[in-house]
Structure 1
Amino acid sequence: MREFDYVVIGGGSAGCVLAGRLSEDPTVRVCLLEAGGSDASVLIHCPAGLAAMARSGAFNWGLHTTPQAGLGGRRGYQPRGKVLGGSSSVNAMIYARGHASDYDHWAAAGNAGWGWNDVLPYFLRAEHNERGASAWHGADGPLNVADLQSPQRASRAFVEAGVQAGHPRNDDFNGAQLEGVGLYQVTHRAGERFSVAKAYLTPHLGRTNLQVVTGAQATRILFAGRRATGVEYRRGGQTQQVRATREVLLSAGALLSPQLLMLSGVGPGAQLQSHGIGVVHDLPGVGAHLHDHPDVVQVMDAPRLTDLFGLSLPGALNVLRGVREWRAHRSGMLTTNFAEAGGFIKSRPEEPLPDLQLHFVVGKLLDHGRRATWGHGYSCHVCLLQPRSRGRVTLASADPAAAPLVDPAFFSDPDDMQRMVRGVRRMREILAQPALASLGARELPHSSRAQSDAQIEQFIRDWADTIYHPVGTCRMGCGPLDVVDAQLRVHGLQALRVVDASIMPRIVSGNTNAPTVMIAERAVDLLRQAA
């Protein structure tokens, strides 16, 4: 049994920050366990490789939900990164923090130190924004944030269409205001994806006090009484253990962190006993409060736009030229993140804050990019930023190799569907404006038939799914159904913290990767103070 000061479970966004930052002190020994492999693949480093990864399970847990009543009984798809960098190695690279009020809500719920003024310094500490430092942005952090290198003309047309529809132009969604339409900033540098692993971990693999073990799936956290003492994991068909003399840090993500807690005997006691798992600590909130941004995509067929990604002879030739250009110069169409433009808008004027987010995609996106369709076109996502529906992650069995049961309970609260119906209408208003209409695109039949509210609702139930932002399953707070305190320590246990998106008391109004990095940066300070 090997011994370290800290053992980090999960080499995703939060885990990479923890391992990289904690090992900056040469006297601190850190072990990082990652179930996936290295991030060396060109599909990760080439931004447009995202399209190929959508069809591959090589870097993805490939989870699914339970049948969703709100989706007409369909099982949703839940891709999560299984590789160093986690989902930051397979996502669309959008850098978004949400609204300041999101974090003030966290603090108001009893989590001191998590208000906007508290967390902004950690966003700044993490960020190296190529636009330079300002009151809103950092320029000295590890995580590179940049403008898109070669945005498509259709993406610029979307922004113009949004302005024509009456929405403000917003050149910085992480600046003074969230509302508006514009091009996203992304986590890339010099034409390559800049994952959290690239930012915090892989440059430091030579540190003698840092051990990174890939292909290591944690099977349970070890306890001596109520104190976490280490981690058991499977690697190469063998069971091994590693000891933590200070703390075990769980960063497996919003779907797998609660699963590992329950496999380790921490969670709803009756459920654990039903699977033959001995109860270390009866903590009923583990796995509860799962929520996510429900999302639906409108797809537009645009035969004239052969410069967009698509299946055709011109499209294939464009991609071949793009491959040569990217290999030679790290430039061209393969530097895209696909979701190049978007916006934060209100479903109706009286809303106090934007309650919808748009992602404009430079290709025809069906079934998360897993279903191919002939020709060229573009797509637009609309997602609900503050859903009221809440679900749960539970165990399928006591077998660590079995996927957990993921039930986000999409649209179980009627307000979510009402907002999404309005959201589809607001999205269509933008797509119908002259800047886009002049491109000659036509809506695909599966959505164009939906015109009344009832028809739009049915379209949403038939086609909606996640936009990959699950949170809340190890919720931070001081109530009986909360899992960690404001220091991220698991209630009722010692030497165990959860550090990832699962601790969010309520989802942020935007993409969750940047907030997850912030959470881990703050956790590093909490750990150093405790030590």
Structure 2
Amino acid sequence: MQTYDFIVVGAGSAGSVLAERLSASGRFSVLVLEAGGTDRRFYVQMPLGYGKTFYDPAVNWNYRTEPDPGLAGNADHWPRGKLLGGSSSINAMVWIRGQREDFDAWAAAGNPGWSYADLLPAFKAIEDFEGGADEWRGAGGPVHVQDCRPLVHPLTQRYLKAAEQAGLPLNPDFNGASQEGAGVYQITAKNGRRMSAARAFLWPAMKRANVRVETHALATKILFEGSRAVGIEYEQHGRKHIVRAGREVILSGGSVNSPQLLQLSGIGPATLLQGLGIPVVHANDHVGANLQDHLGINYSFKGREPTLNQILRPWWGKMLVGMQYLLLRSGPLSLSMNAAGGFFRTDPAMTRPNMQLYFQAFSTVIPKSGERPILTPDPWPGFSVGLSNCRPSSRGEIMIRSANPRDYPRITPNAYSTDQDVAEMLAAVKFVRKIAAQPALAEIIEEEVLPGPSITSDEDLILDFRKRSGTVYHPVSTCRMGPDAGNNVVDPRLRVHGIAGLRVIDASIYPDNISGNTNAASIMTGWKGADMVLEDCG
């Protein structure tokens, strides 16, 4: 049996950071187990290639939720990265930290060291922001953050003007002094290639002699001696392996896989585990509970001016942008579909924004089987204004359905299960229409295609967003952090309550969801978690 100082399960946004930072001194050996394969694939490295990876089982877990009454009975598609870099290798690359108040609330809930002031140095150290360093931003870090303002489609300026006409201030940097307002999104890309956590952290770490990365290695069980985690059992190419951790086992599988592995290993709701014949190592009803996710919907319009549809749909346009990308690493294929967006309050009495906007200079009303139709948009000049909620109050759960580690867990989001979430989304979709009605956009809109002008009453608007909403791929909190062992899974130093030698370090530890895209905070969690591990090692 081979022994490593640290075993990291999952090579995603947090796991990649852990591999690099725990191995940097040369003092410790690190084994990283990744259930997926390599990220050195063309459509992974090409920024807009995530349209091709959206359903690809070679790089994507392709989870599916239980039919959800809150989504009119629909079973939602949940893509999660199954490759080096995890979901940072297949996401839309938007770089949003979240609001100061999000992290201050984490600290106020009894988690010292997790306030915005505590975390800002980590965020700045992580970044290599193209706009340069200042009071809020960092430069020279591992993650290159691209300023896309000079590169977006001209229609984006109309959206920004319309948002301003609707009452939103223009915001040049959502990661700066304030998040509220409308602006162009920054993305994790450099020189026309995706800047995933694997590229930023894991690739450099893999060059070290004290780091070993095993791909296609599915962790099936945490091994214990009494109440201490001492190793991992995993399957690779049909064979079972056992490895031992001299110091700690660290789960970084994300909000689906980390609670799943805990439950498979005997840490979770006792009744569930006993019913599946799994010996209970430590009973904790909160493993897999408290699931939170952001829900989104698009309003799509047919325009009177050319959009990206006219370039990305015809064969000659595909050839043109393909050559532009291959020769120059520029053009639409080098960017995200979410060119711009913003944050707003559905009620002026609120102290901070509770909704996020997305502007896309193309539309995909007509579905395309087998892929997200980013690269085959509609045959008319179209664009979309989308939104998602920032801090939904609905809670769901992720629970295993059998003792077989290859069986996908049961994902129950309970979307729109509170009156608050329904009321906020109703106000939000009305605001999207308000933006579209402003002169800057109204003069070039021929018609609203989805949901269409016939949908006007509150009842119909609610039914529409229940039918058409879906995840925006930000599940968190299934291994929630908190000081109280009776209500949480990990303590403020990310150690699993009741178990020695075991931590969870990924987005599943968020006490509550953050306001915006979750990948930046996931990488920060890996950075902060590595600091804690190294401090505790002495």
TM category, shorter: over 0.9
One-letter amino acid of the counterpart of residue 91, structure 1: N
Deviation, 1:42, is: 1.0
One-letter amino acid of the counterpart of residue 455, structure 1: D
Deviation, 1:153, is: 1.3
Deviation, 1:336, is: 1.7
Tell me the distance in 1 between the aligned counterparts of 2:139 and 2:378: 43
Tell me the distance in 2 between the aligned counterparts of 1:330 and 1:441: 34
Secondary structure of 1:296's counterpart equals strand
Tell me the distance in 1 between the aligned counterparts of 2:341 and 2:57: 28
Tell me the distance in 1 between the aligned counterparts of 2:535 and 2:377: 54
Deviation, 1:68, is: 0.7
Aligned equivalent of 2:383: 378
Aligned equivalent of 2:21: 21
1:292-347 CA distances to partner (integer Å, 9 max, x unpaired)? 1111111223364254467743xx32221111111111112211201010000111
Tell me the distance in 2 between the aligned counterparts of 1:122 and 1:206: 24
Change in Cα spacing, 1:194 to 1:445, as seen in structure 2 (3 Å) is closer
Change in Cα spacing, 1:258 to 1:109, as seen in structure 2 (3 Å) is same
Change in Cα spacing, 1:218 to 1:123, as seen in structure 2 (3 Å) is same
Deviation, 1:450, is: 1.6
Q: Does the Cα contact within 8 Å between 2:37 and 2:215 map onto a contact in 1? A: yes
Q: Does the Cα contact within 8 Å between 1:310 and 1:374 map onto a contact in 2? A: no
Deviation, 1:243, is: 1.0
Deviation, 1:445, is: 4.8
Deviation, 1:111, is: 0.6
Q: Kindly indicate whether residue 418 of structure 2 is the aligned counterpart of residue 418 of structure 1.
A: no
Aligned equivalent of 1:34: 34
Deviation, 1:527, is: 0.6
Q: Kindly indicate whether residue 463 of structure 2 is the aligned counterpart of residue 439 of structure 1.
A: no
Deviation, 1:283, is: 1.2
Q: Does the Cα contact within 8 Å between 1:150 and 1:335 map onto a contact in 2? A: no
Deviates more, 1:65-74 or 1:173-182: 65-74
Aligned equivalent of 2:54: 54
Deviation, 1:5, is: 0.4
Aligned equivalent of 2:79: 79
Deviation, 1:432, is: 2.2
Q: Does the Cα contact within 8 Å between 1:307 and 1:318 map onto a contact in 2? A: no
Change in Cα spacing, 1:383 to 1:329, as seen in structure 2 (3 Å) is same
1:272-295 CA distances to partner (integer Å, 9 max, x unpaired)? 010110111111110010011111
Q: Does the Cα contact within 8 Å between 2:311 and 2:318 map onto a contact in 1? A: no
Deviation, 1:160, is: 1.5
One-letter amino acid of the counterpart of residue 9, structure 1: V
Q: Kindly indicate whether residue 458 of structure 2 is the aligned counterpart of residue 457 of structure 1.
A: no
Q: TM-score scaled by structure 1?
A: 0.97
Tell me the distance in 2 between the aligned counterparts of 1:218 and 1:491: 21
Aligned equivalent of 1:229: 230
Aligned equivalent of 2:329: 330
Q: Does the Cα contact within 8 Å between 2:269 and 2:286 map onto a contact in 1? A: yes
Aligned positions of 1:155-234 closer than 5 A: 155-234=156-235
Deviation, 1:142, is: 0.5
Q: Kindly indicate whether residue 516 of structure 2 is the aligned counterpart of residue 510 of structure 1.
A: yes
Deviation, 1:192, is: 1.2
One-letter amino acid of the counterpart of residue 406, structure 2: A
Aligned equivalent of 2:402: 397
Deviation, 1:164, is: 1.4
One-letter amino acid of the counterpart of residue 405, structure 1: R
Deviation, 1:46, is: 1.0
Counterpart pick for 1:521 among 510, 524, 527? 527
What is the identity percentage for the equivalent residue pairs of Structure 1 and Structure 2? 42
Aligned positions of 1:331-346 closer than 5 A: 331-346=330-345
1:436-489 CA distances to partner (integer Å, 9 max, x unpaired)? 223334221544332111110000111011110000100001231200000000
Q: How many residues align?
A: 529
Tell me the distance in 2 between the aligned counterparts of 1:195 and 1:260: 24
Tell me the distance in 2 between the aligned counterparts of 1:136 and 1:262: 39
Deviation, 1:421, is: 0.5
| Stretches of structure 2 lacking an aligned partner (at least 5 in a row) | none
Deviation, 1:63, is: 0.4
Deviation, 1:362, is: 2.6
Q: Does the Cα contact within 8 Å between 2:218 and 2:234 map onto a contact in 1? A: yes
Secondary structure of 1:378's counterpart equals strand
Q: Does the Cα contact within 8 Å between 1:310 and 1:375 map onto a contact in 2? A: no
Deviates more, 1:436-445 or 1:189-198: 436-445
Secondary structure of 2:233's counterpart equals strand
Deviation, 1:218, is: 0.8
Tell me the distance in 2 between the aligned counterparts of 1:347 and 1:506: 20
Q: TM-score scaled by structure 2?
A: 0.96
Deviation, 1:55, is: 4.1
Deviation, 1:396, is: 1.2
Tell me the distance in 1 between the aligned counterparts of 2:55 and 2:266: 35
Deviation, 1:504, is: 0.4
Q: Kindly indicate whether residue 112 of structure 2 is the aligned counterpart of residue 107 of structure 1.
A: no
| Stretches of structure 1 lacking an aligned partner (at least 5 in a row) | none
Deviation, 1:418, is: 0.5
Secondary structure of 2:298's counterpart equals strand
Deviates more, 1:4-13 or 1:374-383: 374-383
Aligned equivalent of 2:503: 497
Q: Does the Cα contact within 8 Å between 2:300 and 2:450 map onto a contact in 1? A: no
One-letter amino acid of the counterpart of residue 396, structure 2: G
Deviation, 1:413, is: 0.8
One-letter amino acid of the counterpart of residue 341, structure 2: G
Q: Does the Cα contact within 8 Å between 2:221 and 2:265 map onto a contact in 1? A: yes
Aligned positions of 1:283-322 closer than 5 A: 283-302=284-303, 304-308=305-309, 312-313=313-314, 316-322=315-321
1:194-219 CA distances to partner (integer Å, 9 max, x unpaired)? 11111001133221100011111111
